[in-house]
Structures are given as structure tokens and as C-alpha cells.
């Protein structure tokens, strides 16, 4: 029972960076742009956040640094994709490769450095409850902020005019342009928002979750976050749920080891990736369903006639 | 102010110039980086672009490094031409190495040299199987190939780890995570004696010719290019998208698997957790910089090999981090994508607003 | 006498690489005037309208609105001036509701509930009936246009621009649109009406500006012009109508019987119980408002929809019926487009760039697209020399203006590319040729050329099936005509018995009074019986002559159920079956 509470707690904690990144990517995909650079942005933000945390000792500055780095890199992708009309897949891929290389390069001095632990928030009364206390109410503040963010994004997309405009741009950039909406600027902002959230996710990984810097430490989480938007059919609530589920799968190996189950650790480490593949296949198998839910212009180049 | 104006027709000259522009910008950036790090930029650049081609040893090393890049790049180019976004060549490469290595481990000293043939085939089949999973998931379940192929890279790496940390670990290897050295009969013959260049490079060159013929001179090659450029036109013409999908993924998987096998029984001679130095990912850049064109890929493969060797030299001689290679590679692709705008657009000085009559 | 023009354009110019879209264009529109801008495809009308609406910036020239010089930098500026536009290609968002779509087009922000209330108000005032909460993808083409018009009207426009508004409407719906526009003009709103349809302009408009090759070539009072004189102004020359010999129908070439196929696309149309017979040496026209199953039918014929054709038995149960699509008595079930081409069935699709041709590839490669037989390919190896020679032959024979087989498909004008694609298929010596929208978006000269080629092919004994949304075109070249509506096919009418009114009525699916084809009893669904009341008007009108397409605008037809598309209720209809 106690171990299960710990698994639940660690699922929330491990799922939080996935949820953050995926929520951000969901917003820029709703505007019709896919950013395969998620992994690169997360890595760059992870080292930037870690460096700031080491230097200042302030975790919130670290999150801010991550957000800025992620947002700027996303703006770079936006410049290429939106104004120069480059292929969205190739450009995002370039960012992922570039981010992996550059983060390894600038992070060399930080390998092996330690950070003071930034403690969790113990919610008064609730955290004292048996089982649910440690499972749900003794986490880092970012875990709760992420949940609020999912709610906020849902309300933004479906209850505000700005959210409607964003969805309209993703649905048909031609129509939005004809009505006079600045399609490229809207998409750039959406991309930067997505990048900033990927950045916060990266900083959370290196500053709170691990907490240390290792080359390539995101270990494909950016890609899993990309897959999550599809699993969730572009709905924030489902993104959150999916992220915690994957967080749980990641943590399963420690749970198994704790329980004394004899499985090679490498095979257990494969689990999140295999699970991603399996779930992706299951969720995508109905092309009609995906088509109805996917932003119609996703991945396509839009060039306004001027 | 500068503004972009669409060209009436794409510029053929720019199609060839744009990789060179990208390279020039990358080199400038590299020079600046050396300067910032307190090294002589010219000396630094010489490590990348002069040192590797100075003598026969250097050239041989270059060819050896370029072999896996060219092979993987060729397969990926076919995928991208068909608009199939396989980014998991790294995983297919690892599976090729595992399959070939598994077979090579069983060979003894008395085994004939011809055992290399089944070994290389095993490598190809390993890569094809890994890419085949991607094709199957896309074909049967409509699963996005970008994500599945990338996820399979991690799975392949853990599979390799599991083998070299577990059942395949060399019992006399002081508990290092590596297999025993392969028997001499399974090691690739040298192309040039006393260098590290083996027949793998020759195999890669044959693949270049075959790939070039396939894409330009065969109906199946034409079909998959049409499918990549205009899927609706391919459907109208009756070219099967499924067939294209399977063709390019098996082709690409086979090439990457072959590259993995050549690496395992070539320069490595055993399996370790690090059979690939990111060749599968670098090959993505090789494919794009080579214009998805077989001959272009030879040049871009050699260029990328220079980056690898230069990075190692910079580390050993200047004490600079090897990670610089990755920075240059990513930067090159970025610059190329930006420069490619010039193929379809020209830069003009903007007119100042609207004139009034 | 000084007059306050609503809109005054002077010396407007706009240049694209390789094209001068507008050259020194001037235009004056009076308040309350319905002002036509006439010109053929590519004359620069659409560009001019986008300039007025701020969607495109001119290179030079001035715009005055109500006597004041203005710079229309964006559509927001245009809307604040009181300019509204209904686009030819609707600027709607499929997954959003009607109210949300309208809301997105309003700059003042009254809130979604208020918008829905106002939609109902305008809908009642102008007879533009629509439910604000419906998602747009469930609407018919005509209903979508209503959404666009309502969105324009809610901005209280002083000038309303309509770009080719009738190209998507059935004749009865056109009539209704004209009523709305006259009502609007009577309130003092100016209307710019862009069209290349002469009858419409003569019926509706007070003044007509004629454009050709980016320039204004004439200002006329359309009421005093004839179709012929307007046409001459528009084209700059007389266009000879193709001479037509009577058809010599031979054996049955293509036969579809009882074909039903649920749509593969979530927003598509289910084909229901499609039967038709096409003989050699005749041309059968398929009329209908776009989005009524034309695309799906074409996919079934071409083999792009690879699912086996399925028919239904008398009880309406779906069953596998492999024989329901036959070419010269041989079933085509499950055969690929390539196999069908080898058997003599060729197709010219609707979209030229991206479907009929690969835009970035040269013409030789585009020839290879549908000529993969032994003369182009041997043992899987391409013979580029032979392909280039064949391409050169097509270019020469069909008068394609191109630099040669190496010219990229996208470098050709619409008319020339269409000539190339039609020529490519004709040069494959088809026994049956299916052509969708043969002259859509093509200039008048190329259109005449293409129609003449199709007629010549018919006279040579080929069976032709022409799917077109332009009724005039079908009346000009088809021997028999059928109508497709909501995924169902009407019986065939000989062209001599067809009238615009009757075909227009059939476009709404009301053909039950007619004799069913092949003597089979036509299944009558509940929906049809419920509406047969309205269908009766058609009998009274059937006597009117065919030759001129004008009378339909004078027609006092009632409801325009003309465009209620199958997509609105495919599931319910499916459930009935």
C-alpha cells in the first residue's frame, strides 16, 4: 500500500515535465505548426536552467531561464518555418540535433555539479492524510501549477475569443488570412509559448527532478511529449492524464526493483518507449478519428499572397 | 529593408549553391567559436578541413568514417523523397550491428572468410526488421513514423545494452560491458593495406551507384518520388502509397543495418554499448545537405566525416570538447534550410510602401 | 453634376512575378448600385477585389471611399470603412459553428450569444435561413455561402463585394441570392458583383466594367447589351461555338448498376444506388452542385477508391456485388487505376496541380504519370527518351504553350496545363474517358479548344462521361444528362428534353416524377415523398426552351432546397438504408 502511494507520487512527479512540454506543444499544434525541436529545446533549457540554479540558487530564476531559452529557440524555428517557408519537420529536427549538440557543448562545465534540493510543498492538513497525503499532497509547487495550467489552456482554447482565433488559424490559415488575422504572428506566438513551456519542462528536469546535468538527460521526453498531443487528441485534460500515465510507466522499473522482481533493468528501461509506440498505434488506428480531431493545417506550409 | 520575392521558377544554380552557402556560414561560426574559446581560428579550422585530407592515412580514415554516413544517408534520402519521415536510422544501425555481431561471435578461427557474406546479410535483415516495424505500424495502425522510428532508437540501444551487459558479455573481459573480439575471419578485408579503410567503403560506393539508378531510371523510383511530392497525383496515377512506404523503409533499414554490420565487423571488431557515434542522426543531415541525391550524399557524407575527425583532433590537440561536432552538424542543417529559401525566392530591396498616382 | 461615389479607384497596378494582374485600373461605384466586374479567368478581377478589401497591397494607385482618400492596409481597415467581402473560395472554418465563424469576421466584439441572436435577425430579414449553432462542415455549399453573406451583412456594409458567388449554386439558389442582393441594394448598400456569367450580369446589374488581361476595356450598361456583345468585350474576339454532329451511340462501354459506397472521408458523401449506362460514341454529362458525391463517384470510376464496389439488393441490404462496375462487360472490381488505363478507361481529374499533374515535375515526368506502358517502361527501367518524344507530340498536337517537355507543370497557365492533361489522356487512346470539370478556371479560348477535342473524341467512337458544375457547358457538349444529388444519380435525359429549370430542380434530388432508368422501379425514400409537392412546379416549367440559360433567373421558384447536401444527413440516410 505504501509502495503504491510512492509509485503514484513519483508518477505525478515524473509526469509533470512531460505534461508541461506537451501542453505547450498542444498550443502551437492547435495553431497549425508542429515543432519537432521539443527535445532540443528541452535540453537547452535544462542546461540553461541548471546553470542559473547553480549560479543563483534560485529555482524560479532557473525556470525563467528555461522558458526564455525555449521560447527563443522556438522563435528561431518560427522564423524559418513561417517566414522562410521551410519544411516544418526538417526544421524541428534540425533544432533537436542542434540542441543536443550545443547543450552537450556548453554543459561540459556543469557535469557533476550539485544543487541544493528545492523541497516540496506540504499542503497543510491534506499532506498528513494516510496514503493520499504522500501520494497527492506533498509535491513540488510546479506539479500543482501544471495542473492549473492544463485547466487554463482548456479555458483559453474553448472559452475565449483569442483561443477561438488560434484554433481558426490552425484550422484554415487561408481563411484566417482572408479575414485579416495576422496568421504568421499568431503562429509565432503560439510556437514561442510552446517553446517556453518545453523550456520550463527542461529546467524542471535538471533542477528539480534529477537534479543534475547529464548530456542528453531528457532521454526522448521531448519526443514522448510530441506523441502525447496525438494520444490526447489535442485536449489538455487528456494530455495531463497521459503524462501521468507515462510518468507511472517510467517509474515502474524502480517499483519492480523495489518489489524484487527479476527483470533486466535495460528491458524495464525500454518500457516508456515501447509503451509510447503501442499507445500511439492504438490511438492512431482510426484515421478518421485522428483527422476529425487534428488541426487541419498541421504541418503544412502557409504562404500568404501579398 | 530587404524582402523576399518568389521566383517565377526555382533556381537550379541555387539548388547547388545553397549547401555551399550553408557550409560557409557554419565555417564562419566555427571560426568565431574558436576565437571565443581563445584558439587560433585558422589553426582550428585546419584541423577540420586540412588535416583529414593531408595524407593517405587521413584520407583512409575519412573514407572509413564516411562509409556509415553515406549508407544511412542514402536510405534516408529515399525515405524523405517519398515523404516518409524515418528518423530512426540510428536504431536500425544498432540492430544491424547486433545481428551481424551475434553471427560473428559464433565464428571460430577456422571459419572461412565467406562467412562475411551471411554476416553482412544478417546486418541488413536486422535493420530491415527494425524499419519494418515502423512500416507495419504506419501501414496497419496509421502510427506516425517520426515518433515510432525515434522511439525504436531507444529500444534498440537498451537491447544492445542488455546484450553486452548480459548474455553476450565477454567472460574474460574483466566485467567490461563488451563482447569478445570477433574471430579474424569475420573482420572486413582492407581496401588499402596498412590503413583502416576496408571494403565497406567500396560497398558504399556500389550502393551510391545503385541508388542513383534506382531513383532516376526505374519506374518504382519514379513512383515513390511522385508519392512524396504529390500524394494525390500518385493516387490518381495508381501508384501504391503502401508499396512506397514499405519499399523505402525496408531499403533504408537495410542500408542502415548494413552500415551497422560494416561498423561492427570493421573498425570495432566487437560489440560495445557505443557501436554508433550518432551516425544514424548525422545521416539525416547528410541526406539533406546532399540534396537527397546519391552523388550529393557522397560529398556531404565526406564533409560530415570531416566534422567527426576534426572534432576528435580538436579534442586531442587543442583540448576542446568533442561535443563541438554536434554543434556544427546541427548548425549546418539550420543554415541549409534557411539558404534553401533562395532556391525559390530572391532577395530584393523593398520599395517604400505604396506609390500614389 | 457632382456625385459622391461610394468607391473610386484610380490607376491601380499590381504585378506578380511573370504576371501583370492589374494595370492602370480605374473603377467608380455609386451608392446603391449593383456594379458588375466582368472578365474571363485570369483577367485580374479577383486581385482587384482583394486590393479593395485590403487582403492584397497594390504596387501603385489610389483608392477613395465616400470621397475620402484611404489606404486599405488590412481587411480590418476595409471593414472599418464599411467594406465587406464574400469570397469565391469561402473563408470559413469547417469545425467551428456558424456563430463562431460569423464572430471571427466581426471586429466589434458583441459576444457569442449576441452574435447568434443577430444571425437569427438578419436571417429572418433577408430570408437567409440558418441555425447559428450548426458546425460548418455539416452545411451544404449554398448554406455556407449564406454564412458568408450573413457575416458580411452583420458588419453593416456600405459596399459588399461578391466574388463569383453563383459558381457553386443551383439555378434556383441563384434566383434567391439575387432577391437578397436587390433588397440590400435598395437600402443604399453598393454591391460589386464579380462574374464571368453574362446572363447573370444582364439580369442583375446596373452597370458593368469589363476587364481583360489586367486592364479595364469597357464600361457599359448591361441591360442594353446582348450576351454576344458582352462576350466580345470580355474575350476581345468572337468565339465560335463548336459544331456538333448528332451522336452515334454504339455498344455499352461503361455500366454501373446499384453501386453503393459509404464515404471514406469523414466529411464525404455516401454514394447510394448509383446506376448508369454509357455507350461508345456518346457523351453523358453529370450535372450537380459541388459536394454532392462527384468526387466520390470519380474515385470509384478511376479506381482511386480501391474498396470493392458494393451493390444493394432489392430489399436495400448491402451485399458484395463485384459485377456492379463493368467496362465492356468485364468487371472492374478491385482493379487499380493502372489496370483500368490498360483496359481503356482514362480519367481527367478536377484538380490540375497536385492531382492531374505533379507541380514541380516537368511535363515529360507528368506524361509518365499515366503512360507507364511498354513504350515508356521496359522491365521496370524508364525510357526517358521515348517519354520526352511522346510529351513533345502531345504539346504539338494539342497546342500547349510550353517551352518543351522540360517545362515544369507549375510554370504553365491553367488553360495550357488543362490542355496538356486532357491531351495526355486522349493520346492514350481511351475507349472510355471520364472528365471532371473540363474547363474549370480555364480561359475562353482554351475552353473552346478542349470542348472541341472532347467532341472529336466522341465522334471517333470513344465513350465520354463529363462531370461538370457548369450547366451551360453540359448543354453545349453533352448528348444526355444526369444529375447527381446527395450521392444519388437521377435518370438520364436526352439533351433535347433537358431544360435548365428541370435540371435545376433535379439538383435538389427531386426527380421522382421522371421515368427511372433501365425500367427499374426507383426506390422512393421518405424524404423525397415529403417534398414531391414542390417537385410539381417543374412540370409546368419544363416546356420552356433550353438554348439560353437566362430564364432561370426569371423563374419564380420557391424554396432552394437545391443545395442541401448529403453530408448534412449522411448518417441518417445511411440508417434508413
Residue C568's pLDDT band (boundaries 50, 70, 90)? very low
Smallest Cβ distance to A292: which of C90, C103, C266? C266
Instruction: State mean pLDDT over C361-377.
Output: 93
C545 near A CB under 8 A: no
Grid cell digits, residue C574? 445511411
Cβ within 8 Å, pair A277-B344: no
Instruction: State mean pLDDT over B243-262.
Output: 97
Mean pLDDT score of chain C:
82
At residue A170, the pLDDT reads 94
B205 near A CB under 8 A: no
Cβ within 8 Å, pair C382-B217: yes
B151 near A CB under 8 A: yes
**Partners of C481 in the β-ladder:** C285, C493
Smallest Cβ distance to B357: which of C18, C60, C351? C60
Task: Tell me the pLDDT tens digit for each residue of A86-119.
Answer: 889 999 999 999 999 899 888 888 888 888 777 7
Residue A188's pLDDT band (boundaries 50, 70, 90)? very high
Smallest Cβ distance to B354: which of C17, C57, C339? C57
- Region of C284 please: left (phi>0), alpha (psi -120 to 50) or beta: beta
- Region of C461 please: left (phi>0), alpha (psi -120 to 50) or beta: left
How far apart (Å, rounded) are the C-alpha atoms in residues C166 and C178? 10
Chains that touch B (3 or more CB pairs under 8 A): A, C
How far apart (Å, rounded) are the C-alpha atoms in residues B10 and B346? 10
Smallest Cβ distance to C60: which of B217, B220, B355? B355
- Region of A56 please: left (phi>0), alpha (psi -120 to 50) or beta: alpha
Spell out the SS3 assignment of chain B.
CEEEEECCCCCHHHHHHHHHHHHHHHHHHHHHHHHHCCCCHHHHHHHHHCHHHCCHHHHHHHHHHHHHHHHHHHHHHHHHHCCCCCCCHHHHHHHHHHHHHHHHHCCCCCCCHHHHHHHHHHHHHHHHHHHHHHHHHHHHHCCCHHHHHHHHHHHHHHHHHHHHHCCCCCCCCCCCCCCCCCCHHHCCCECCCCCCCEHHHHHHHHHHHHHHHHHHHEHHHHHHHHHHHCHHHHHHHCCCHHHHHHHHHHHHHHHHHHHHHHHHHHHHCCCCCCCCCCHHHHHHHHHHHCCCCHHHHHHHHHHHHHHHHHHHHHHHHHCCCCCHHHHHHHHHHHHHHHHCHHHHEEEEECCCCCECC
Of C26, C448, C141, the closest CA to residue C37 belongs to C26
Residue C550's pLDDT band (boundaries 50, 70, 90)? very low
Smallest Cβ distance to B357: which of C10, C360, C361? C10
- CB distance B78 to B131 below 8 Å: no
Cβ within 8 Å, pair B10-C360: yes
Give the range among A157-166, C50-59, C166-175 with minimum mean pLDDT. C166-175
Q: Residue B220: its chain C contacts at CB < 8 A? A: 380
Q: What's A110's DSSP letter?
A: G
Grid cell digits, residue B56? 593517405
Residue C301's pLDDT band (boundaries 50, 70, 90)? very high
How far apart (Å, rounded) are the C-alpha atoms in residues B201 and C245? 69
* Other residues' Cβ atoms within 10 Å of the Cβ of residue A43: 34
- To the nearest 10 degrees (0 to 180), the angle between helices B41-49 and B12-36 is 130
Residue keyed to cell 490607376 = C11
At residue C237, the pLDDT reads 79
Give the range among A9-13, A255-259, C300-304 with minimum mean pLDDT. A255-259
Smallest Cβ distance to C104: which of A168, A291, A306? A168
CA distance C381 to chain B (A): 4
Share of chain A above pLDDT 90, in %: 51
CA distance B143 to chain A (A): 5
At residue C55, the pLDDT reads 84
CA distance C566 to chain B (A): 24
Residue C466 has pLDDT above 50, yes or no: yes
Grid cell digits, residue C416? 495550357
Give residues with Cβ within 8 angstroms of A28, minimum separation 6: A34, A35, A74, A187, A190, A191, A193, A194, A195
At residue C302, the pLDDT reads 92
At residue C549, the pLDDT reads 35
Give the Å distances, CA to CA, from C541 to C93, C426, C481.
38, 39, 18
How far apart (Å, rounded) are the C-alpha atoms in residues C140 and C146? 10
Residue B341 has pLDDT above 50, yes or no: yes
A87 near B CB under 8 A: yes
Residue A183's pLDDT band (boundaries 50, 70, 90)? very high
At residue C576, the pLDDT reads 36
Task: Tell me the pLDDT tens digit for each residue of A271-294.
Answer: 889 999 999 898 888 878 887 888
User: How many CB pairs lie under 8 A apart between chains B and C?
Assistant: 88
ipTM of the complex: 0.89
Smallest Cβ distance to A85: which of B162, B327, B341? B341
At residue C513, the pLDDT reads 57
B324 near A CB under 8 A: yes
Residue A172: closest C-alpha in chain C: C93
Q: Nearest 10 degrees: CA dihedral of B86, B88, B93, B94?
A: -160
Smallest Cβ distance to C55: which of A165, A167, A178? A178
Smallest Cβ distance to A108: which of B281, B323, B341? B323
Cβ within 8 Å, pair C381-B218: yes
Instruction: State mean pLDDT over B294-310.
Output: 94
At residue B350, the pLDDT reads 60
DSSP C329-377: TEE-TT--HHHHHHHTEEEE-S-TBTTTB-TTSBHHHHHHHH--STTTE
Residue B323: closest C-alpha in chain A: A105
Instruction: State mean pLDDT over C508-517.
Output: 65
Q: Residue B291: its chain C contacts at CB < 8 A? A: none
Chains that touch C (3 or more CB pairs under 8 A): A, B
Cβ within 8 Å, pair C17-B7: yes
Q: Which helix (H) or strand (E) holds A294?
A: none
Q: What's A299's DSSP letter?
A: T
The residue among C63, C303, C304 with the most chain B CBs within 10 A of its CB, best to mutate, is C304
At residue C524, the pLDDT reads 36
B159 near A CB under 8 A: yes
At residue C517, the pLDDT reads 46
C550 versus A29: the higher-pLDDT residue is: A29
The residue among A74, A100, A215, A277 with the most chain B CBs within 10 A of its CB, best to mutate, is A277
B86 near A CB under 8 A: no
C506 near A CB under 8 A: no
A186 versus A260: the higher-pLDDT residue is: A186
Residue C199 has pLDDT above 80, yes or no: yes
Of C429, C457, C346, C309, the closest CA to residue B236 belongs to C346
Cβ within 8 Å, pair A174-C103: no
Cβ within 8 Å, pair C56-A305: yes
Residue C14: closest C-alpha in chain A: A306
| Chain B residues contacting C via beta carbons under 8 Å | 5-10, 216-220, 222, 226, 229-230, 232-233, 235-238, 240, 351, 354-357
B258 versus C403: the higher-pLDDT residue is: B258
At residue C137, the pLDDT reads 87
Task: Tell me the pLDDT tens digit for each residue of B187-229.
Answer: 888 888 888 899 999 999 999 999 999 999 999 999 999 999 9
Task: Tell me the pLDDT tens digit for each residue of C19-59.
Answer: 888 999 999 999 999 999 998 888 888 889 999 999 889 99
Burial C315-327 (b: 16+ CB within 10 A, else e): eeeeeebeebbbb
C291 versus C221: the higher-pLDDT residue is: C221
The residue among B141, B149, B304, B311 with the most chain A CBs within 10 A of its CB, best to mutate, is B141
Predicted TM-score (pTM) of this structure? 0.87
Phi, psi (5° rounding) for residue A250?
Answer: -60, -35
How far apart (Å, rounded) are the C-alpha atoms in residues B168 and B170? 6
Residue keyed to cell 507530340 = C393
At residue C308, the pLDDT reads 58
A305 near B CB under 8 A: no
Instruction: State mean pLDDT over C535-559.
Output: 35
Amino acid at each position: 500500500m505504501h509502495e503504491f502511494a510512492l509509485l503514484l507520487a513519483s508518477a505525478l512527479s515524473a509526469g509533470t515535465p512531460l505534461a508541461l512540454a506537451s501542453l505547450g506543444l498542444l498550443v502551437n499544434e492547435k495553431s497549425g505548426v508542429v515543432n519537432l525541436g521539443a527535445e532540443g529545446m528541452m535540453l537547452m533549457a535544462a542546461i540553461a536552467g541548471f546553470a542559473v540554479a547553480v549560479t543563483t540558487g534560485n529555482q524560479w530564476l532557473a525556470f525563467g531561464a528555461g522558458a526564455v531559452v525555449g521560447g527563443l529557440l522556438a522563435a528561431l524555428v518560427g522564423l524559418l518555418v513561417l517566414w522562410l517557408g521551410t519544411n516544418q519537420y526538417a526544421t524541428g529536427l534540425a533544432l533537436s540535433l542542434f540542441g543536443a549538440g550545443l547543450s552537450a557543448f556548453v554543459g561540459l562545465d556543469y557535469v557533476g555539479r550539485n544543487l541544493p534540493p528545492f523541497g516540496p510543498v506540504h499542503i497543510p492538513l491534506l499532506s498528513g492524510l494516510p496514503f493520499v497525503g504522500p501520494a497527492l499532497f506533498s509535491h513540488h509547487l510546479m506539479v500543482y501549477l501544471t495542473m492549473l495550467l492544463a485547466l487554463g489552456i482548456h479555458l483559453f482554447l474553448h472559452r475565449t475569443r483569442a483561443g477561438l482565433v488560434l484554433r481558426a488559424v490552425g484550422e484554415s490559415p487561408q481563411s484566417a488570412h482572408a479575414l485579416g488575422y495576422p496568421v504568421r504572428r499568431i503562429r509565432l506566438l503560439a510556437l514561442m509559448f510552446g517553446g517556453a513551456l518545453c523550456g520550463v519542462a527542461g529546467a524542471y528536469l535538471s533542477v528539480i527532478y534529477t537534479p543534475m546535468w547529464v548530456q542528453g538527460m531528457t532521454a526522448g521526453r521531448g519526443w514522448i511529449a510530441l506523441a502525447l498531443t496525438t494520444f490526447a487528441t489535442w485536449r489538455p485534460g487528456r494530455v495531463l492524464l497521459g503524462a501521468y500515465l507515462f510518468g507511472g510507466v517510467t517509474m515502474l522499473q524502480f517499483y519492480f526493483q523495489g518489489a524484487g522482481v527479476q527483470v533486466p533493468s535495460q528491458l524495464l528501461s525500454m518500457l516508456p518507449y515501447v509503451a509510447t509506440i503501442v499507445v500511439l498505434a492504438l490511438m492512431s488506428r482510426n484515421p478518421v478519428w485522428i483527422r476529425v480531431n487534428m488541426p487541419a493545417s498541421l504541418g503544412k506550409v502557409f504562404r500568404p499572397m501579398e | 529593408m530587404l524582402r523576399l520575392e518568389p521566383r517565377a521558377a526555382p533556381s537550379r544554380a541555387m539548388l547547388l549553391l545553397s549547401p555551399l552557402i550553408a557550409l560557409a556560414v557554419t565555417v564562419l561560426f566555427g571560426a568565431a567559436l574558436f576565437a571565443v574559446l581563445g584558439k587560433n581560428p585558422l589553426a582550428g579550422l585546419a584541423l577540420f578541413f586540412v588535416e583529414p585530407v593531408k595524407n593517405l592515412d587521413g584520407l583512409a580514415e575519412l573514407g572509413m568514417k564516411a562509409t556509415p554516413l553515406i549508407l544511412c544517408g542514402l536510405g534516408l534520402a529515399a525515405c524523405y523523397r517519398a515523404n516518409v519521415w524515418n528518423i530512426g536510422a540510428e536504431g536500425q544501425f544498432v540492430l544491424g550491428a547486433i545481428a551481424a555481431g551475434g553471427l560473428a561471435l559464433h565464428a571460430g578461427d577456422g571459419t572461412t572468410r565467406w562467412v562475411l557474406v551471411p554476416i553482412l546479410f544478417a546486418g541488413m535483415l536486422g535493420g530491415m526488421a527494425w524499419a519494418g516495424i515502423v512500416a507495419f505500424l504506419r501501414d496497419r495502425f496509421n502510427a506516425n513514423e517520426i515518433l515510432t522510428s525515434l522511439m525504436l532508437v531507444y529500444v534498440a540501444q537498451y537491447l544492445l545494452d542488455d546484450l553486452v551487459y548480459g548474455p553476450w558479455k565477454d567472460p574474460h573481459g574483466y566485467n567490461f560491458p563488451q563482447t569478445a573480439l570477433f574471430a579474424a575471419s569475420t573482420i572486413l578485408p582492407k581496401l588499402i593495406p596498412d590503413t583502416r579503410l576496408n571494403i565497406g567503403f567500396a560497398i558504399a560506393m556500389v550502393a551510391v551507384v545503385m541508388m542513383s539508378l534506382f531513383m532516376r531510371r526505374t519506374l518504382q523510383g519514379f513512383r515513390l518520388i511522385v508519392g512524396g511530392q504529390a500524394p494525390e497525383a500518385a493516387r490518381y496515377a495508381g501508384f501504391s502509397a503502401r508499396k512506397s512506404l514499405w519499399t523505402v523503409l525496408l531499403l533504408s533499414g537495410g542500408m542502415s543495418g548494413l552500415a551497422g554490420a560494416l561498423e561492427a565487423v570493421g573498425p570495432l571488431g566487437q560489440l560495445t554499448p557505443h557501436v554508433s557515434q550518432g551516425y544514424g542522426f548525422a545521416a539525416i543531415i547528410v541526406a539533406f545537405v546532399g540534396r537527397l541525391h546519391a552523388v550529393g550524399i557522397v560529398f556531404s557524407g565526406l564533409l560530415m566525416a570531416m566534422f567527426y575527425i576534426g572534432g576528435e583532433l580538436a579534442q586531442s590537440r587543442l583540448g576542446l570538447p568533442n561535443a563541438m561536432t554536434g554543434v556544427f552538424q546541427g548548425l549546418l542543417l539550420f543554415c541549409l534550410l534557411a539558404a534553401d529559401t533562395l532556391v525559390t525566392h530572391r532577395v530584393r530591396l523593398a520599395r517604400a510602401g505604396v506609390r500614389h498616382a | 453634376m457632382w456625385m459622391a461615389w461610394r468607391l473610386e479607384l484610380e490607376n491601380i497596378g499590381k504585378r506578380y512575378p511573370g504576371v501583370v494582374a492589374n494595370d492602370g485600373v480605374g473603377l467608380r461605384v455609386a451608392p446603391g448600385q449593383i456594379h458588375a466586374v466582368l472578365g474571363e479567368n485570369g483577367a485580374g478581377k479577383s486581385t482587384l477585389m482583394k486590393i479593395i478589401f485590403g487582403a492584397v497591397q497594390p504596387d501603385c494607385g489610389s483608392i477613395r471611399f465616400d470621397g475620402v482618400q484611404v489606404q486599405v492596409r488590412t481587411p480590418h481597415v476595409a471593414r472599418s470603412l464599411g467594406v465587406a467581402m464574400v469570397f469565391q473560395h469561402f473563408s470559413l472554418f469547417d469545425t467551428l459553428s456558424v456563430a463562431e465563424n460569423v464572430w471571427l469576421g466581426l471586429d466589434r466584439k458583441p459576444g457569442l450569444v449576441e452574435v447568434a441572436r443577430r444571425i437569427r435577425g438578419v436571417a429572418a430579414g433577408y430570408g437567409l435561413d440558418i441555425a447559428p449553432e450548426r458546425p460548418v462542415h455539416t452545411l451544404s455549399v449554398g448554406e455556407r455561402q449564406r454564412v458568408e453573406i450573413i457575416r458580411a451583412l452583420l458588419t453593416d456594409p456600405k459596399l459588399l463585394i461578391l466574388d463569383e458567388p453563383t459558381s457553386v449554386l443551383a439555378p434556383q439558389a441563384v434566383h434567391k441570392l439575387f432577391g437578397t442582393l436587390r433588397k440590400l441594394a435598395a437600402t443604399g448598400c453598393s454591391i460589386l458583383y464579380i462574374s464571368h456569367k453574362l446572363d447573370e450580369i444582364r439580369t442583375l446589374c446596373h452597370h458593368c466594367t469589363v476587364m481583360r488581361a489586367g486592364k479595364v476595356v469597357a464600361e457599359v450598361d448591361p441591360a442594353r447589351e446582348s450576351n454576344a456583345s458582352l462576350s466580345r468585350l470580355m474575350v476581345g474576339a468572337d468565339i465560335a461555338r463548336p459544331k456538333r454532329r448528332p451522336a452515334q451511340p454504339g455498344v455499352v462501354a461503361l455500366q454501373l448498376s446499384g453501386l453503393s459506397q459509404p464515404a471514406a472521408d469523414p466529411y464525404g458523401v455516401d454514394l447510394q444506388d448509383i446506376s448508369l449506362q454509357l455507350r461508345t460514341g456518346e457523351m453523358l454529362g453529370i450535372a450537380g452542385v459541388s459536394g454532392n458525391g462527384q468526387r466520390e463517384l470519380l474515385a470509384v470510376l478511376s479506381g482511386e477508391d480501391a474498396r470493392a464496389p458494393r451493390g444493394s439488393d432489392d430489399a436495400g441490404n448491402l451485399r458484395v456485388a463485384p459485377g456492379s462496375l463493368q467496362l465492356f462487360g468485364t468487371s472492374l472490381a478491385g482493379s487499380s487505376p493502372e489496370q483500368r488505363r490498360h483496359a481503356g478507361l482514362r480519367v481527367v481529374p478536377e484538380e490540375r496541380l497536385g492531382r492531374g499533374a505533379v507541380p514541380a515535375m516537368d511535363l515529360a515526368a507528368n506524361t509518365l504519370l499515366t503512360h507507364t506502358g511498354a513504350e515508356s517502361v521496359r522491365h521496370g527501367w524508364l525510357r526517358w527518351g521515348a517519354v520526352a518524344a511522346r510529351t513533345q507530340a502531345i504539346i504539338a498536337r494539342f497546342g500547349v504553350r510550353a517551352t518543351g517537355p522540360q517545362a515544369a507543370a507549375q510554370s504553365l497557365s491553367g488553360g495550357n496545363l488543362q490542355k496538356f492533361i486532357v491531351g495526355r489522356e486522349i493520346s492514350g487512346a481511351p475507349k472510355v474517358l471520364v472528365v471532371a470539370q473540363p474547363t474549370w478556371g480555364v480561359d475562353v479560348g482554351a475552353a473552346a479548344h478542349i470542348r472541341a477535342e472532347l467532341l472529336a473524341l466522341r465522334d471517333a467512337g470513344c465513350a465520354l462521361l463529363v462531370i461538370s458544375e457548369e450547366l451551360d457547358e453540359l448543354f453545349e457538349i453533352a448528348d444526355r444528362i444526369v444529375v447527381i444529388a446527395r450521392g444519388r444519380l437521377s435518370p438520364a435525359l436526352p439533351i433535347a428534353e433537358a431544360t435548365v429549370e428541370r435540371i435545376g430542380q433535379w439538383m435538389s434530388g427531386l426527380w421522382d416524377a421522371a421515368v427511372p432508368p433501365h425500367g427499374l422501379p426507383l426506390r422512393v425514400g421518405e424524404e423525397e415523398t415529403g417534398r414531391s409537392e414542390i417537385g410539381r412546379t417543374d412540370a409546368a416549367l419544363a416546356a420552356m426552351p433550353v438554348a439560353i440559360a437566362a430564364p432561370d433567373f426569371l423563374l419564380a421558384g420557391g424554396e432552394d432546397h437545391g443545395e442541401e447536401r448529403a453530408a448534412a444527413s449522411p448518417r441518417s440516410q445511411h440508417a434508413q438504408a
